[in-house]
Structure 1
């Protein structure tokens, strides 16, 4: 056997290195996360349209070393440098044909369940405002929990790879769930039944619900669009092609609603702009007519036949994520590659302050609370073990709280004296820090599942209990007494990621990211 193996090795050496086969390597190492057709799945699409800001050498580096603060692993042990370079170059080649995905294609994908029947009242006896949804990414399901008893009322299948937080209708009856490959699902919590599904994009980031509950905005990486759906029947209200003022196409990094402004606000991935899209029946003519285009740095005259006029605001840097103040007048934004942030005043359409935010802040997970006579915002960082606390009057850093590693999520509640923040990345991923809101000191560090990833906290409606995820396929949702910090119950689940309480989300409860 040894002689035979040596002979095989000698023949292989004489034949020279095996030619790289990037298509085969993609199928083996990439397709599970990024889709068989490179159009995205758990991970983003890998085609020139979505890799436009990354050159070949940078792509090769990511393949080889992985990507900090993401689920992208390193493949240097599986492929040599030549194979990685070939794969990086192959990913920059266009597809034979990138699918069109406009209104016609979206509507053709729409399916409304024939057996769905609306009910007049919930089919269960729980508090409808204290329902909590737990997203289980291990097998693509959502568990519907009674927030008082923590019993599972239903467990339903979702589209593949749910991404971004689900959004509830203002009355808490319906929930809308989006997957990374663009599917939007409508589910009736009262009836415990799916209403229907529609594919609003091919590769998507997140969704936002309008304050009046009529519209759902879908942020797309592919194609470069913002899709607006009717929440009533999932039909297309409008598809906005996303291009900057200079005509550069852009992916949409994130979309959130700004209820007092009756608008959606978008961060763009590939141009230094943020967009405000009005869903008001009577938008402010000063903002959306184009009359103040020079002073406000907004788009010129807007077509009058659209119910969703757009305002484009130039920013000093790209924004991958952002956070609002309580008045929704200010946007605090940051680039994933930057070491700081910026504050944009939506009223005047200009940057008004810089933020000290090192270590790739995760502003989408930021929260606020009262500290003395001011309000502060706090955010974890995806690269550094620190939580930054910012005074929202002065925009100055109040404190940088050292943690045992980079975090991803943080949560609190107006009835809780504590902030909870995970240590999502690195060797201490099994830790959860509990921080006193007033002293800004870590008062306790929990390790509920040694060696396993512990992440994401959600509170019950009254803030009496905190729900924590053991983010593993054989994981669990752990229920804590939010005052004593003692474990109350453990619910086995398949890689539970986010939990979302109806009341906290529809009321924009303090301590809940929006």
Structure 2
């Protein structure tokens, strides 16, 4: 008996009728040689091994900020204000999709980056001491700002008093971790996701040296005397030490435990009072400390850290040797107290945080901070005779305020959404925190540091992300980013909260004041 076709029967017929077309499409996809397309159209800029060249590395880990559909759009249309051309007229949609699929596929063998590759990448454009020692500008050298513009991968150098541009220069793709200055404020070092370290002479507005420390780098740190640079890598699993003058490579540290298990490095920090680098490890339950040689004459006296560098080490470690500190959990995001005796590390998976005493190498306290605290953006200030720290959360609309004497939770401030950056200044009564994630990303909160209450919520550009505050050296004015291709840096009066000026910029992200970063000004994350 013949039965009439119901809905499922009609669907089955439709599927059967479409099978030839689907098979034809699958066959067409399989016929596309993605690697051959890459070598023909991409390798000259991005490297035959996808490790980068003139263009950035095209590996999944290096493309974490770029979604696949965005990559397809870039391949189609190109990227304005860069050398990335569009291939929409040369390649069909299937070929472009196949290319995108391939660059988001991990290579069959993990790429290597040894001391040989590091040395081969090293370039010195102006050897140390070859350029004039006086600034070419009249601005206060300690009240300059560097603004990273991620839209077209440039950096703007601003006079912190007049907010006039002194220079605007191209950067490497996807700078990450914030630029780091030498103590005198003359030189600044940038680190890119692709592993490049670039040294720029602010006085002469010249890029003076570059070197590639790894394939996928997290950040860099500069010793307090300005003589050494340390790089932290995801790929390969290494820390790399450089002499700062010309970025000459000195040593590669394979990041492994005693059993040979390796780890990505989440970040590396300079700890000035300790005279050492501190490394956060992603995949090992360890914190690493690597001392640098102590100069005979102290060269740093930093902000609210009243004591200069002293040869005060509670452990007997040769210079540049690793001191391994075992910790009870994986800690890959850090905050330090002003003396850098205690490191506060976020546990993986939003399970809170813990305090590690770096002198004794033991756990001092647990912190019940749910919501993935962004400790790297935490700040501290004095409140009623005690130092407190405040931390935004990446997955929760809250700011946690902690008493740093006994590590107790004083208060949790509810915010309009999860935040990313928090900033203040010793001379300001306010702390600022953005609401970077979620529907209220166009708002920013102003917190009274004594009442511990939100006293103002600003919405400077409705619909556009407002993020990342940085004060001038005096704490009198501050800059806030409108994080958009058609964006701006907004100048505010730090006391009245009045808007003073808007400086158009191409997706400005971080802003970094020379004084605040070299003197570890209170309210600036380190």
Q: Hey, what's the Cα distance between the residues in 2 that align with 1:415 and 1:184?
A: 33
Could you tell which deviates more after superposition, 466-475 or 111-120?
111-120
1:163 aligns with 2:176: yes
Aligned to 2:315, the other structure's residue is in SS state helix
Structure 2 match to 1:442: 454
Q: Hey, what's the Cα distance between the residues in 2 that align with 1:154 and 1:441?
A: 39
1:46 aligns with 2:46: no
With normalisation by structure 1, the TM-score equals 0.82
Could you tell which deviates more after superposition, 336-345 or 446-455?
336-345
Shift of residue 196 of structure 1? 1.6
- Given the alignment, which residue of 477, 480, 484 partners 2:496? 484
Deviations 1:283-339 (A, max 9, x none): 8787245xxxxxxxxxxxxxx7xx411101111110111011011110000134222
Deviations 1:184-242 (A, max 9, x none): 10000111111121111111001111111100010001111101111101101111111
Aligned to 2:284, the other structure's residue is in SS state coil
Shift of residue 11 of structure 1? 5.1
- Given the alignment, which residue of 123, 127, 138 partners 1:125? 138
Structure 2 match to 1:338: 350
Structure 1 match to 2:190: 177
Question: Contact 2:286–2:330 at 8 Å: present in 1 too?
Answer: yes
Q: Hey, what's the Cα distance between the residues in 2 that align with 1:36 and 1:351?
A: 47
Q: Hey, what's the Cα distance between the residues in 1 that align with 2:105 and 2:67?
A: 20
- Given the alignment, which residue of 123, 126, 132 partners 1:111? 123
**Structure 1 moving runs of 4+ over 2 Å:** 7-25, 34-47, 70-75, 87-96, 114-117, 280-289
Aligned to 1:478, the other structure's residue is in SS state strand
CA, structure 1 residues 286+377, in 2 after alignment: closer, same or farther (shift >3 Å)?
Answer: closer
Q: How does 1:294-443 map to 2 (within 5 A)?
A: 307-443=319-455
Shift of residue 136 of structure 1? 0.5
Q: Hey, what's the Cα distance between the residues in 1 that align with 2:68 and 2:60?
A: 16
CA, structure 1 residues 340+44, in 2 after alignment: closer, same or farther (shift >3 Å)?
Answer: farther
Deviations 1:85-137 (A, max 9, x none): xx9999786524x4331222111111111599511210000001100100001
Structure 1 match to 2:199: 186
Question: Contact 2:444–2:466 at 8 Å: present in 1 too?
Answer: yes
1:150 aligns with 2:150: no
CA, structure 1 residues 395+503, in 2 after alignment: closer, same or farther (shift >3 Å)?
Answer: same
Aligned to 1:483, the other structure's residue is in SS state coil
Q: Hey, what's the Cα distance between the residues in 2 that align with 1:507 and 1:284?
A: 20
- Given the alignment, which residue of 8, 19, 23 partners 1:13? 19
Deviations 1:256-309 (A, max 9, x none): 0111111000010111111001113598787245xxxxxxxxxxxxxx7xx411
Question: Contact 2:347–2:354 at 8 Å: present in 1 too?
Answer: no
Question: Contact 1:141–1:157 at 8 Å: present in 2 too?
Answer: yes
1:455 aligns with 2:455: no
Question: Contact 1:476–1:496 at 8 Å: present in 2 too?
Answer: yes
- Given the alignment, which residue of 255, 260, 264 partners 1:247? 260
Q: Hey, what's the Cα distance between the residues in 2 that align with 1:354 and 1:422?
A: 26
Q: Hey, what's the Cα distance between the residues in 1 that align with 2:422 and 2:449?
A: 12
Aligned to 2:60, the other structure's residue is in SS state coil
Q: Hey, what's the Cα distance between the residues in 2 that align with 1:332 and 1:400?
A: 18
Q: How many residues align?
A: 457
CA, structure 1 residues 499+102, in 2 after alignment: closer, same or farther (shift >3 Å)?
Answer: same
Question: Contact 1:45–1:222 at 8 Å: present in 2 too?
Answer: no
Structure 1 match to 2:148: 135
Q: Hey, what's the Cα distance between the residues in 1 that align with 2:126 and 2:68?
A: 45
Question: Contact 1:163–1:206 at 8 Å: present in 2 too?
Answer: yes
Q: Rg: which structure is higher?
A: 2
Q: Hey, what's the Cα distance between the residues in 2 that align with 1:113 and 1:43?
A: 23
Could you tell which deviates more after superposition, 312-321 or 87-96?
87-96
Aligned to 1:504, the other structure's residue is in SS state helix
Could you tell which deviates more after superposition, 7-16 or 404-413?
7-16
Q: Hey, what's the Cα distance between the residues in 2 that align with 1:429 and 1:90?
A: 31
CA, structure 1 residues 250+480, in 2 after alignment: closer, same or farther (shift >3 Å)?
Answer: same
Q: Hey, what's the Cα distance between the residues in 1 that align with 2:473 and 2:57?
A: 33
With normalisation by structure 2, the TM-score equals 0.80
- Report the RMSD for the aligned CA atoms in angstroms: 3.2
Q: How does 1:253-272 map to 2 (within 5 A)?
A: 253-272=266-285
Could you tell which deviates more after superposition, 279-288 or 479-488?
279-288
Shift of residue 401 of structure 1? 0.5
Question: Contact 1:405–1:425 at 8 Å: present in 2 too?
Answer: yes
Q: Hey, what's the Cα distance between the residues in 2 that align with 1:435 and 1:73?
A: 34
CA, structure 1 residues 281+441, in 2 after alignment: closer, same or farther (shift >3 Å)?
Answer: closer
Q: Hey, what's the Cα distance between the residues in 2 that align with 1:434 and 1:287?
A: 42
Shift of residue 45 of structure 1? 5.0
Q: Hey, what's the Cα distance between the residues in 2 that align with 1:236 and 1:189?
A: 22
Question: Contact 1:288–1:311 at 8 Å: present in 2 too?
Answer: no
Q: Hey, what's the Cα distance between the residues in 1 that align with 2:373 and 2:58?
A: 20
